[in-house]
Chains A and B, each alone.
Chain A
Amino acid sequence: MKWSIYILAWFIFLGCKERAEVPTSNLKVKRQTVSVPSTVGMGLEFEFHVQGDGNLALLLDSSFGSMLFKPKISNDKVRFTVLPKFTQQAGEYSWKLLGNSKVLFSDTFVLAPRSGGTHVMETYFGPRNVRAGGDDYAMLTVMPTDDYDNPLPDSTLVSISQQISSKTKVFESSIKDGIAWKLLYGEESTGRMLVSAAVGNTPSKELTAMISPSNSRNFTIGFERVHEYADANQVISFTTSVIRDKYGNRVSDGTLVNFIVVNKEGALLKSMGTTLGGVATAKMLHPSHAEDWQVKAFITGEAESDMLKLHFKSAVQDFKVGLSKTNRKITVGPILGFMGQLVPEGLLIELEIYDGNGDFIEVKQNNSRMGKGSFELKEGFYPSGQYQIVVHLAGIKKEMNIKLTPNEVE
Chain B
Amino acid sequence: MKNTNSLLVLALFFGLAFHGASIFFTLESTYDALIHLFFADHYASSWFEPWDYRWYTGFTVQGYPPLVHQSIALLSYVGGLKFGMFTVALIAIVLFITGAYRFGLLMTGNQKVAGYTALLAVFSSTFIETLHIFGQLPSIIGLSVLLHSLPEIYLWIKTGKYYYLITSLSLIAVTVTSHHVTPIFGMVFFIFPLIGMVIMDDSRDRVNTNRELTFGVFFKSFTKLFWRIITFGFSSLVLIVVCILPYWINSKKNPITQIPIPHGSRDNFLEVTSSGLVFFIIPWGILLFLLPYIFYRYYSKRYLFFGLSISALSILGTGGTTPIPLKVLGETAFNILTLDRFTLWATIMALPIFGEFVYRLVEGDLKSQLQHRFGAIYHRLLSTVLGGGILLMVGFTMTLGYFRPSQPQKINMLPIVNFLNQDQHDKWRYLPLGFGDQMAWLSAQTNAMTVDGNYHSARRLPELTTRAIERLENSKFRGVEGIGSLQQFLTVPEKYNLKYIFSNDKFYDPILYFCGWQRLQQLENGIMVWEKLNVPPLPANLPKEDVAQWLKLMWGTIPILTVLLAFVINIQLLWYRVLNSKKLPLPAYMKYGVNYTKFPSALILVNHIWALLVFLCFGFGIYQFYLQNTAQRSPQNVVKAYYNALDFKEFETAHSLLDTEKGVSIAQYMQEVSVTDGILSSYAKLDAMEIRLLHETRHNAKAEVKTFWVTPLENIQKTYTHDLVERDGKWYIVPTYLDSDLPPDQLFSSNNTTFYNHGRRRITTEQTHHEDVLQQPVLEVLSAKLVKKDGRFSVIGELQNVDNVPADVVIKATLYNEDDKELAHYNAKYHMKHKLMPMETTTFKINFEGIAWSQTTDTLPPSFNPDEFTPVELEGQPTKFNLQCAGNVANIDLYKGLVLQELKKVPTGLKGQLFNSGIQEVTIPLLLISYYNKEKELLWVDHKFIGDGVRVQRKQSFNYTLLEMDSIVVINSSLKNCFVNGLPNAEIADKLITERNTQHVFEQLQPFSGSGFEFIKLEMNSYIGNPR
Q: Provided the pairs A256-B839, A367-B741 are in contact, do residues A285 and B751 lie with their beta carbons within 8 angstroms? A: no
> Pick the contact of A345 from B741, B770, B840, B993 — CB < 8 Å?
B741
Q: Interface-forming stretch among B537-545, B788-796, B900-908, B966-974?
A: B900-908
Q: Hey, which chain A residues are within 8 Å of B995, CB to CB?
A: 215
Q: What is the CA–CA distance of A381 and B701 in the complex, to the nearest angstrom?
A: 11
Instruction: For B910, give the chain A residue with the smallest CB separation.
Output: A267
Are A285 and B699 touching (Cβ within 8 A)? no
Q: What is the CA–CA distance of A272 and B894 in the complex, to the nearest angstrom?
A: 12
List chain A positions with a Cβ less than 8 A from chain B.
Answer: 124-129, 131, 207, 212-213, 215-216, 226, 233-235, 252-258, 260, 263, 265-276, 281-285, 287-288, 296, 298-304, 344-346, 366-369, 378-381, 410
Instruction: For B696, give the chain A residue with the smallest CB separation.
Output: A380
Are A269 and B742 touching (Cβ within 8 A)? no
Q: Which positions 763-782 of chain B face chain A at CB distance < 8 Å?
A: 770-771, 774-775, 782
Are A268 and B917 touching (Cβ within 8 A)? no
Instruction: For B1001, give the chain A residue with the smallest CB separation.
Output: A300
- Given pairs A216-B839, A302-B997, A304-B1000, 13 additional interface contacts (CB within 8 A): A129-B804, A215-B993, A254-B838, A256-B837, A256-B896, A258-B1004, A269-B901, A274-B752, A276-B753, A283-B899, A284-B917, A285-B899, A368-B740
Give 1 or 0 for each of B217-254: 1 = CB within 8 Å of chain A CB.
00000000000000000000000000000000000000
Q: Hey, which chain B residues are within 8 Å of A272, CB to CB?
A: 896, 898-899
Q: Provided the pairs A129-B775, A380-B694 are in contact, do residues A233 and B900 lie with their beta carbons within 8 angstroms? A: no
Q: How many A-B residue pairs have CB under 8 A?
A: 170
Are A274 and B770 touching (Cβ within 8 A)? no
Are A124 and B770 touching (Cβ within 8 A)? yes
The smallest C-beta distance from A252 to any residue of chain B, in angstroms, reads 4
Q: Provided the pairs A304-B997, A345-B742, A346-B742 are in contact, do residues A271 and B695 lie with their beta carbons within 8 angstroms? A: no
Are B753 and A275 touching (Cβ within 8 A)? yes
The residue among A282, A285, A378 with the most chain B CB atoms within 10 A of its own CB is A285
Instruction: For B1018, give the chain A residue with the smallest CB separation.
Output: A270
The smallest C-beta distance from A207 to any residue of chain B, in angstroms, reads 7
Give 1 or 0 for each of B589-608: 1 = CB within 8 Å of chain A CB.
00000000000000000000
Q: Hey, which chain B residues are within 8 Å of A303, CB to CB?
A: 997
Are B804 and A344 touching (Cβ within 8 A)? no
Are A267 and B1000 touching (Cβ within 8 A)? no
Instruction: For A360, give the chain B residue with the smallest CB separation.
Output: B907
> Pick the contact of A267 from B802, B803, B903, B955 — CB < 8 Å?
B903
Are B775 and A367 touching (Cβ within 8 A)? no
- How many chain B residues touch A (CB < 8 A): the figure is 68
Q: Hey, which chain B residues are within 8 Å of A298, CB to CB?
A: 1000, 1003-1004
Give 1 or 0 for each of B837-850: 1 = CB within 8 Å of chain A CB.
11111000000000
The smallest C-beta distance from A373 to any residue of chain B, in angstroms, reads 9
Are B839 and A299 touching (Cβ within 8 A)? yes
Instruction: For B838, give the chain A residue with the smallest CB separation.
Output: A255
The residue among A126, A254, A255, A260 with the most chain B CB atoms within 10 A of its own CB is A254
Q: What is the CA–CA distance of A410 and B745 in the complex, to the nearest angstrom?
A: 46
Q: Hey, which chain A residues are within 8 Å of B215, CB to CB?
A: none
Q: Does B744 contact A (CB under 8 A)?
A: yes
Q: Provided the pairs A298-B1003, A299-B839, A346-B741 are in contact, do residues A267 and B904 lie with their beta carbons within 8 angstroms? A: yes
Q: What is the CA–CA distance of A126 and B1001 in the complex, to the nearest angstrom?
A: 33
The smallest C-beta distance from A352 to any residue of chain B, in angstroms, reads 12
Q: Hey, which chain B residues are within 8 Å of A271, CB to CB?
A: 899-900, 917
Q: Hey, which chain B residues are within 8 Å of A254, CB to CB?
A: 753, 755, 804-806, 837-838, 894
Q: What is the CA–CA distance of A304 and B723 in the complex, to the nearest angstrom?
A: 54
Q: What is the CA–CA distance of A283 and B748 in the complex, to the nearest angstrom?
A: 12
Q: Hey, which chain A residues are within 8 Å of B805, CB to CB?
A: 129, 252, 254
Q: What is the CA–CA distance of A312 and B587 in the complex, to the nearest angstrom?
A: 105
Instruction: For B738, give the chain A residue with the smallest CB separation.
Output: A367
Q: Hey, which chain A residues are within 8 Å of B802, CB to CB?
A: 301
Are B775 and A212 touching (Cβ within 8 A)? no
Q: What is the CA–CA distance of A344 and B744 in the complex, to the nearest angstrom?
A: 9
Are A270 and B839 touching (Cβ within 8 A)? no
Q: Hey, which chain A residues are within 8 Å of B695, CB to CB?
A: 379-381
Q: Hey, which chain B residues are within 8 Å of A124, CB to CB?
A: 770
Are B917 and A345 touching (Cβ within 8 A)? no
Are A301 and B740 touching (Cβ within 8 A)? no
The smallest C-beta distance from A359 to any residue of chain B, in angstroms, reads 14
The smallest C-beta distance from B668 to any residue of chain A, in angstroms, reads 14
20 cross-chain CB contacts under 8 A:
A125-B771, A129-B804, A129-B805, A215-B992, A252-B805, A253-B753, A256-B839, A263-B903, A268-B903, A269-B903, A270-B900, A270-B1018, A272-B898, A274-B896, A276-B752, A282-B899, A285-B955, A300-B840, A346-B742, A367-B737
Q: What is the CA–CA distance of A125 and B695 in the complex, to the nearest angstrom?
A: 78
Are B839 and A284 touching (Cβ within 8 A)? no
Are B804 and A301 touching (Cβ within 8 A)? no
Q: Hey, which chain A residues are within 8 Å of B1005, CB to CB?
A: 268
Q: Hey, which chain A residues are within 8 Å of B804, CB to CB?
A: 129, 212-213, 252, 254-255
Q: Hey, which chain A residues are within 8 Å of B745, CB to CB?
A: 235
Q: Does B1007 contact A (CB under 8 A)?
A: yes
Instruction: For B754, give the chain A residue with the smallest CB separation.
Output: A254
Q: Hey, which chain A residues are within 8 Å of B894, CB to CB?
A: 254, 274
The smallest C-beta distance from B768 to any residue of chain A, in angstroms, reads 14
Q: Does B953 contact A (CB under 8 A)?
A: yes
Q: What is the CA–CA distance of A285 and B902 in the complex, to the nearest angstrom?
A: 9
Give 1 or 0 for each of B688-702: 1 = CB within 8 Å of chain A CB.
000000110101101
Q: What is the CA–CA distance of A302 and B332 in the complex, to the nearest angstrom?
A: 64
Q: What is the CA–CA distance of A268 and B800 in the complex, to the nearest angstrom?
A: 21
Instruction: For B899, give the chain A residue with the smallest CB separation.
Output: A271
Instruction: For B755, give the chain A residue with the smallest CB separation.
Output: A254
Are B775 and A127 touching (Cβ within 8 A)? yes
Q: Hey, which chain B residues are within 8 Å of A283, CB to CB?
A: 899, 917
Q: Hey, which chain A residues are within 8 Å of B903, CB to CB?
A: 263, 267-269
Instruction: For A376, give the chain B residue with the smallest CB separation.
Output: B723
Q: What is the CA–CA distance of A369 and B996 in the complex, to the nearest angstrom?
A: 50
Q: What is the CA–CA distance of A364 and B685 in the complex, to the nearest angstrom?
A: 28
The smallest C-beta distance from A157 to any residue of chain B, in angstroms, reads 25
Q: Which positions 973-1019 of chain B face chain A at CB distance < 8 Å?
A: 992-998, 1000-1001, 1003-1008, 1018
Q: Does B818 contact A (CB under 8 A)?
A: no
Are A381 and B702 touching (Cβ within 8 A)? yes
Give 1 or 0 for each of B627-670: 1 = CB within 8 Å of chain A CB.
00000000000000000000000000000000000000000000
Instruction: For A128, give the chain B residue with the smallest CB separation.
Output: B775
Q: What is the CA–CA distance of A4 and B894 in the complex, to the nearest angstrom?
A: 87
Q: Hey, which chain B residues are within 8 Å of A282, CB to CB?
A: 899, 917
Are A268 and B1006 touching (Cβ within 8 A)? yes
Q: What is the CA–CA distance of A380 and B743 in the complex, to the nearest angstrom?
A: 35
Q: Hey, which chain B residues are within 8 Å of A366, CB to CB?
A: 737
The residue among B700, B723, B838, B1006 with the most chain A CB atoms within 10 A of its own CB is B838
Q: Does B915 contact A (CB under 8 A)?
A: yes
Are B896 and A235 touching (Cβ within 8 A)? no
The smallest C-beta distance from B1008 to any residue of chain A, in angstroms, reads 8
Q: Hey, which chain A residues are within 8 Å of B694, CB to CB?
A: 380-381
Q: What is the CA–CA distance of A267 and B1017 in the complex, to the nearest angstrom?
A: 11
Are B905 and A267 touching (Cβ within 8 A)? yes
Are A255 and B917 touching (Cβ within 8 A)? no
Q: Provided the pairs A235-B745, A268-B1005, A296-B1003 are in contact, do residues A302 and B917 lie with their beta carbons within 8 angstroms? A: no
Q: What is the CA–CA distance of A301 and B915 in the complex, to the nearest angstrom?
A: 26
Q: What is the CA–CA distance of A162 and B164 in the complex, to the nearest angstrom?
A: 93
Q: What is the CA–CA distance of A299 and B1005 in the complex, to the nearest angstrom?
A: 15
Q: Hey, which chain B residues are within 8 Å of A270, CB to CB?
A: 899-900, 1004, 1018, 1020
The smallest C-beta distance from A290 to any residue of chain B, in angstroms, reads 13
Q: Provided the pairs A124-B770, A255-B837, A298-B1000 are in contact, do residues A285 and B915 lie with their beta carbons within 8 angstroms? A: yes
Give 1 or 0 for each of B792-815: 1 = CB within 8 Å of chain A CB.
000000001011111000000000
Q: Hey, which chain A residues are within 8 Å of B741, CB to CB?
A: 345-346, 367
The smallest C-beta distance from A218 to any residue of chain B, in angstroms, reads 10
Are B837 and A378 touching (Cβ within 8 A)? no
Q: What is the CA–CA distance of A172 and B782 in the complex, to the nearest angstrom?
A: 42
Q: Hey, which chain B residues are within 8 Å of A233, CB to CB?
A: 742-744
